[in-house]
Amino acid sequence: MLEILYQDRYLVAINKPSGLLVYKSPIDKKETRFALQLVRDQIGEFVYPIHRLDKPTSGVLIFALSSEVAKLMSDIFKSHKIEKEYIAVVRGYTKNSELIDYDLKLLLDKKAVELPFAVSRYPVARYSLIKLLPQTGRKHQLRRHLKHIFHRSTKLTQTYL
């Protein structure tokens, strides 16, 4: 059972745990559990994903209960009228504030993205808790931008403002 955070006659919002795909994807052909199917089975209605979160990302995931509402909400997301905020734990110290304006090349789904938690031979490591406010929605954008500034996220959680 997934935690339902909000539900009315148009939308249902769930708390998507890390490790769960939104829907069936070639990213992980072996996976048999998907948020879309779990929500559908849980509420007994067909649901339409409005957006997605990467498999390792936890956070609020919103589904529409009709194709018309799904299109309307998708258009709102695409027009950036909804602000997304992510909280990440990254290894190392970060600046108090930084704009990462770095073009990302298209990333194909040839292999899954894995983030290691072990820190090789070091018994302790330094971490920073940061807030990320993406302006676009490119694939694996936050992890790739963090890698560009020499940080690897160990945990991402997404919320909406």
Which residues are marked as active site? Answer: 54
Kindly report the backbone phi and psi dihedral angles of residue 81, in degrees, each rounded to the nearest multiple of 5, phi listed first: -80, -10
Contact 3, 43 (CB under 8 A): no
DSSP string, 53-79: --TT-EEEEEEESSHHHHHHHHHHHHT
β pairing state of 58-64 and 84-91? unpaired
